[in-house]
Amino acid sequence: MRIGELAERAGTTTRTLRYYESRGLLPARRDGNGHRTYDERDLRLLRQIRTLQDFGFGLEETRPFVECLRAGHPAGDSCPASLAVYRRKLDELDALIGELGEVRRTVARQLTRAERARDRLAADALVPGGPEPECELGGQR
């Protein structure tokens, strides 16, 4: 198949395919007229790349999976290099989850503090001559 058909079947653009070719991820085979030609294996490579990218893998992180498929393995993730990328990605995700957990705890503390301050202001507003409202971000008003 030609580049346009491959792009359509893979749900991408010919520009993307040429970029993958320039990065060595997609083979550059030509027919007698100089047109790029592809087969079902190339479509499978592209689907592997796209799936991994959808899951947050960078383009270079897909290389071991592509090489595994090219080596004849039925699944691109059964080779040692692919497994190593999975392990690294899991470590990254675990670190991000930890960071997000800390951010969530901080936001929850800020919400609790802000709600208490609001409640105090509402109570003070009922008392004539109560204190002026404060804004922690800008100091006294």
Domains recognised in the chain with CATH numbers: 3-128 (1.10.1660.10)
Confidence band for 141, pLDDT divided at 50, 70 and 90: very low
pLDDT computed for residue 110 by the predictor: 95
Residue 56 has pLDDT above 50, yes or no: yes
Which stretch of DSSP H or E encloses residue 17?
Answer: helix 14-22
pLDDT computed for residue 124 by the predictor: 77
Instruction: Compute the average pLDDT of residues 42-69.
Output: 93
CB 3 within 8 A of CB 38: yes
Burial (0-12, 13-18, 19+ Cβ within 10 Å), 47: middle
Confidence band for 10, pLDDT divided at 50, 70 and 90: very high
Residue 140 has pLDDT above 60, yes or no: no
Q: pLDDT: is 123 or 52 the higher one? A: 52
Instruction: State pLDDT tens for residues 80-125.
Output: 999 999 999 999 999 999 999 999 999 999 999 999 998 888 887 7
The label of the residue with tokens 């991994």 reads 52
Instruction: Compute the average pLDDT of residues 119-137.
Output: 69
**116, 139, 114, 120: which is closest to 131 by C-alpha?**
120
